[in-house]
Amino acid sequence: MTPIGILGTGSFLPEQVVTNEEIARSTGVTDEWIVRKTGIRERRRADDRHATSDLAARAARRALDQAGIRPEDVAYVVVATSTPDHPQPATASIVQHLIGAVDAAAFDVNAVCSGFVYAMTVAERMLRGADEGRHALVIGADIYSRILDYSDRKTAILFGDGAGAVVLGPVPEGRGVLETSLLTRGDQYRLISVPAGGSRLPATSRTVEEGSHFFRMDGRGVREFVQENLPTALRDLLVKAEVHPSEVAHFVPHQANGVMLADVWPHLGLPDATLHLALDRYANTGSASVPITLDLAHREGALADGDLVLLAGFGGGMTVGATLLRWAPTRQARHELHEREFAAPIG
């Protein structure tokens, strides 16, 4: 089968910068406390006029532009999000319309912060079974600022808004996606949740008064889940791919919490890999964090032809997703990162 890999990357971060000082005022902590606990210094917040689909569409256009692929040549639009525009229709349907991907099938994937890796896996498998030369657009996008309780210091300090995207398509032999591993520990689903707004607890005046539509997280439980499951998942993936850990050149993880990543990093057994982080500037952007960080690394010129790149997401559900790929050079790799490109308002 034709190997499938990444042909282009793109990301979008909203213009508004929210500093730790602003978050500290509502949560009763300090800038120093937030940095010490998370490594985060600032994050972006979406304009009130815009929804997840708007951010996703901007990131998608940038990925398509870099890949040199027209929207009408996209076969699938897959959006990973846990903050959709609406319960229905799928946010991907709106993105398909916004970017003009008129011939694409469009659907959402919700695996919370693992969502991008899950969505990329689905799209890659679909392309492998499709006619040669077809392309997929995979987007991770979230606006967590709309579901945060800004009096809750455990969660309000962690999140920002953003979107990242990749274009998948045929790549040369020996390049592209080599192996993927997905796992879910549904018995621990209560560790991360938005309790109300679904069929189990529909929206009422009481759920609003109780704050049940806000994001909730058991931070200690999440940390234990990651420490227990992420190293094992990555080791198993590399064994399946018959790749020695020392061969991995780049590790792009979900940008959950800088301190937690620093704690787990020595246990991942990747001695020669560069750990890519963007959370100090953009915080935890949910399903967008992996593709945003990948795009930044790519546009800074960090990824070379033939490099082994390991992507890993982990989050609510509880889920872990990891993908190993051998990098293929893109048509328009931009090695100079201009901040204004990522901060521009939506047009």
Q: Omega into 260 within 30° of 0, i.e. cis?
A: no
> What is the pLDDT confidence band of residue 330, given thresholds at 50, 70 and 90?
confident
Expressed in angstroms, the distance from the first to the final Cα of the chain is 40
At residue 333, the pLDDT reads: 53
User: Phi/psi zone of residue 65: left (φ > 0), alpha (ψ -120 to 50 degrees), beta?
Assistant: alpha
* Alpha-carbon torsion (71, 5, 296, 148), positive or negative: positive
At residue 347, the pLDDT reads: 35
At residue 335, the pLDDT reads: 42
Q: Could you tell me if 309 and 249 are in contact, meaning their C-beta atoms sit under 8 angstroms apart?
A: yes
At residue 262, the pLDDT reads: 96
Q: Per the structure block, which two tokens stand in for 315?
A: 């989050």
User: For residues 65 and 299, what is the distance between their CA atoms, to the nearest angstrom?
Assistant: 13
Q: Per the structure block, which two tokens stand in for 330?
A: 């893109």
Of 282, 284, 290, nearest to 42 (Cα)? 282
* Range with the poorest average pLDDT among 119-133, 162-176, 187-201: 119-133
Of 176, 126, 148, nearest to 3 (Cα)? 176
User: For residues 314 and 222, what is the distance between their CA atoms, to the nearest angstrom?
Assistant: 9
Q: Could you tell me if 114 and 317 are in contact, meaning their C-beta atoms sit under 8 angstroms apart?
A: yes
CA max distance for the chain: 57
- Mean pLDDT, rounded, for 112-126: 97
- Mean pLDDT, rounded, for 82-94: 97
Q: What is the dihedral of CA 60, 62, 68, 69, to 10 degrees?
A: 10
Catalytic residues, by residue number, are 113, 254, 284
Q: pTM of this prediction? A: 0.94
Q: What is the pLDDT of residues 271-296, one digit of tens each?
A: 999 999 999 999 999 999 999 999 99
Compute the radius of gyration of the chain from its Cα atoms. Answer: 19
Q: What is the pLDDT of residues 197-240, one digit of tens each?
A: 999 999 999 999 999 999 999 999 999 999 999 999 999 999 99
User: For residues 25 and 250, what is the distance between their CA atoms, to the nearest angstrom?
Assistant: 37
User: For residues 256 and 284, what is the distance between their CA atoms, to the nearest angstrom?
Assistant: 5
At residue 339, the pLDDT reads: 40
Percent of the chain residues topping a pLDDT of 90: 92
Homologous superfamily of the 1-347 domain (CATH): Thiolase/Chalcone synthase (3.40.47.10)
Q: What is the pLDDT of residues 10-50, one digit of tens each?
A: 999 999 999 999 999 999 999 999 999 999 999 999 999 99
> What is the pLDDT confidence band of residue 345, given thresholds at 50, 70 and 90?
very low
- Mean pLDDT, rounded, for 111-140: 92
